[in-house]
Amino acid sequence: MYHDIYISEKSVKIIGISATEQIMTERKPLMNEAIIRIENVSKTFTTTDNTVEALKNINLEIGRGEIFGIIGMSGAGKSTLVRTLNFLEKPTEGTVIIEDKDLSKLSEKEIRKVRTEIAMIFQSFNLLAQRTVLDNICFPLEIIGTPKAKARERARELLQIVGLEAKENSYPSQLSGGQKQRVAIARALANNPKILLCDEATSALDPTTTKAILKLLKEINEKYGITIVIITHEMTVVQEICSHVAIIDEGVLAEHGTVEEVFSHPKSKAAKKLVFMVNHSTPRMDGRRCIRITFSENSSFEPVIANMVLECNAPVNILLADTQDIGGIAHGQMILQLPEDTATQEKMIEYLKRCNLEVEDEDWPCD
């Protein structure tokens, strides 16, 4: 599409694209530049009865334009962590830096200004029941004093982005769960945020709707360069759209890295539990050696284990087998329990390495 260019002394504007495209086109992400820095963040909640350390010395960087997943089991501290990113929850110790702004050094007024660039969506949608879809999206614009006509124009642009143009006069009670979350996303984008925080945003949705919402978030990220932070307890959500992931366990940053790294080579006990998604009470005979093998794209469908058993004339116990699509590439993993005989163990390991598989000893959690 051809766009006219209007040049003035103060600005360059592209005529023929929406306000959303105009503002967000100017915000092309500089990849690897940190937009969020979490430095030595701890959070303690104190009541009359006890003290709970929800976060313990968290240090983490989130790059501009990334889709970053923060994952952990219920009660791990991940929701507390995401609320520190906009200082809805002020850390007991440490600080959060958004771009070059240290939130701990800002006044309440200055923090409120920063929050206009950090939007948030929730599991429960938080829509206003007595307002139509269009008026729900207009609400944050009304708060900052946007004229009604301009706010409604902006809201309609956002409804096009989330695919709900036909629902502008509907009320939340007339919408499905997925439609409600799309309205919540549109409302969150109203003020052109640089960062979008998603706190368990798909947990109340069915798998098909979850995939659709995740696809929408990925499209928004790719088209407008908005940094998205996703809080979840579901590894499948992280696997679907995130580029990087941090694992929180009992208030501690257990592990972080690219999704591919953490999926392929989980190091911490918490990461292994989430990646493998199995019960830690998996039975195992004491004293047996366990190994984890990682298949490459070229070997994930070859009968390597069957050939190894025939070659070594000894059985193995498959404790776990899993193949996952990460970034469009098949990654397979197995955890094998090897026979007692040391010579047979080494022969099997040597065979697997000859097949170009990655092999490492695995302290399989069975406590």
User: Measured between alpha carbons, how far is 118 from 192 in angstroms, rounded to an integer?
Assistant: 9
Residue 7's pLDDT is 34
Which helix (H) or strand (E) is 260 found in, with range?
A: helix 259-264
In CATH terms, the fold of domain 290-361 is: Alpha-Beta Plaits (3.30.70)
Predicted confidence at residue 61, as pLDDT, reads 95
From residue 261, how far is each of 21, 47, 180, 234 by CA, in Å? Answer: 34, 39, 34, 17
pTM of the model: 0.71
Measured CA to CA, the distance from residue 300 to residue 143 in angstroms comes to: 54
pLDDT tens-place string over residues 204-254 = 888 888 888 999 999 999 988 999 999 988 888 888 899 999 999 999 999
Q: Mean pLDDT throughout 258-278?
A: 80
* 148-162 and 133-143 helices, crossing angle to 10°: 130
pLDDT tens-place string over residues 294-324: 876 555 566 788 888 888 888 888 888 876 6
The separation between CA 144 and the C-alpha centre of its own chain, rounded to angstroms, equals 29
Distance CA(242)–CA(264), nearest Å, equals 15
CA proximity to 97, closest of 198, 224, 195: 195
> How far apart are the C-alpha atoms of 57 and 94, rounded to whole Å?
8
Q: What is the pLDDT of residues 80-100, one digit of tens each?
A: 999 999 999 999 999 999 998
Q: Residue 56 and residue 133: Cα distance in Å, rounded?
A: 40
Ramachandran category for residue 212: left, alpha or beta (phi over 0 → left; psi -120 to 50 → alpha): alpha
The H-assigned helical ranges of the chain are 19-25, 78-84, 108-115, 133-143, 148-162, 177-188, 207-224, 235-241, 259-264, 269-276, 304-312, 342-354
What integer pLDDT is reported at residue 45 of this predicted model? 92
Helix, strand, coil proportions of the chain in percent (round to 5)? 35, 30, 35
**Segment 131-170, tens digit of pLDDT:** 999 999 999 999 888 999 999 999 999 999 999 999 999 9
Helices (H) and strands (E) in the chain, counts: 12, 16
Domain 34-117+193-271: assigned CATH number:
3.40.50.300
Instruction: Please tell me the predicted confidence (pLDDT) of residue 298.
Output: 54
Domain ranges of the chain: 34-117+193-271, 290-361
Q: Which tokens sit at 99?
A: 């771009």
- Measuring CA to CA, how many Å separate 114 from each of 85, 107, 111, 142? 11, 11, 5, 18
Greater model confidence, 255 or 329: 255
Residue tagged 């798998």 (tokens): 207
Q: Quick: pLDDT tens for 28-70.
A: 544 568 899 999 999 999 888 889 999 999 999 999 999 999 9
